[in-house]
Structures are given as structure tokens and as C-alpha cells.
């Protein structure tokens, strides 16, 4: 029996692969070959990406019953609050990554960012 080592890939890499396929830059087979992955794994990543990044934003809220304007406003306020929270987290992550790049550039004395032409 073979010893199979389970590899764990970062979510940013999985997103990149899925986006390349969904934007039709690569086929599933081409992506699998390019990144040395199995086609099954690539298909799993596409399903994961759609479930977590595409479909939640495209699926409209389906009221199970007739709701009042007041209830709808409450739902929309909650949705807005969640979206604002996600935006704050994304902005914080962006600031953190910028700081990490600044530190790396200073410590290693190598420009990491591209100079705008």
C-alpha cells in the first residue's frame, strides 16, 4: 500500500487556480497539468470556490413567507452590517500585507513592489 501524503494548499492558491479556470484562461486539465494537481482536486477547488466566493453573492435572499417591510429592513440592515464587517477585515488584511512588504523591503533591502511606469 502506498504512503499517500496529503498536501495542504493555501486558500489564495486554490482561489487563483479556480479563477483561472472559471475565467477560461485554462481548462481543468491544463490547470491540473500546469500546477501538477489531479483533475479531481481541481474540480473540488472549483466547487469550493463557487460555494464560498461566487454563489453567496449571486443568490438572492428568498423569503420563506410574505414578510413585512419592517422585517425586510431588518434583514437588509443585518446584511449591510455583515458586509461592512467583511470590508473592515479586508482593509485590515490589506494594511497588514502592506506593512509586511514594507518590513521585508527594509530588512532585505530589495524592492518587492513594482515601480509604476
Concatenate the DSSP letters of all residues of 42-107 into one string: HHHHHHHHIIIIIHHHHS----SS---HHHHHHHHHHHHHHHHHHHHHHHHHHHHHHHHHHHHHHH
Q: Which three cell numbers stand for residue 73?
A: 429592513
Q: Confidence class of residue 24 from pLDDT cuts 50, 70 and 90?
A: confident
The answer, yes or no, to whether residue 113 has pLDDT greater than 60, is: yes
- Per-residue model confidence (pLDDT) at position 71: 87
The predicted model gives 43-55 an average pLDDT of 85
- Per-residue model confidence (pLDDT) at position 72: 86
Nearest to 41 by CA among 31, 55, 51: 31
The predicted model gives 14-21 an average pLDDT of 90
Model confidence, pTM: 0.44
Q: Which three cell numbers stand for residue 68?
A: 413585512
Q: What is the pLDDT of residues 29-40, one digit of tens each?
A: 999 999 999 999
- Looking at per-residue pLDDT, the higher value among 10 and 64 belongs to 10
Nearest to 55 by CA among 64, 46, 44: 46
DSSP state of 40: H
- Per-residue model confidence (pLDDT) at position 1: 42
Q: What is the pLDDT of residues 53-111, one digit of tens each?
A: 776 665 555 555 677 888 889 989 999 999 999 999 999 999 999 999 999 999 998 88
How many CB atoms neighbour CB 75 within 10 A?
13
HSE of 5, CA atoms in CB hemisphere, 13 A: 3
Amino acid at each position: 500500500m502506498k504512503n499517500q501524503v496529503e498536501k495542504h494548499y493555501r486558500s489564495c492558491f486554490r482561489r487563483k487556480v479556480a479563477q483561472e479556470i472559471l475565467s477560461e484562461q485554462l481548462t481543468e486539465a491544463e490547470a491540473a497539468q500546469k500546477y501538477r494537481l489531479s483533475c479531481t482536486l481541481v474540480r473540488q477547488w472549483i466547487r469550493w470556490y463557487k460555494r464560498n466566493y461566487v454563489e453567496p453573492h449571486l443568490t438572492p435572499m428568498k423569503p420563506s413567507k410574505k414578510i413585512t417591510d419592517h422585517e425586510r429592513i431588518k434583514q437588509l440592515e443585518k446584511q449591510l452590517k455583515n458586509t461592512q464587517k467583511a470590508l473592515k477585515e479586508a482593509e485590515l488584511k490589506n494594511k497588514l500585507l502592506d506593512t509586511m512588504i514594507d518590513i521585508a523591503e527594509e530588512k532585505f533591502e530589495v524592492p518587492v513592489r513594482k515601480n509604476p511606469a
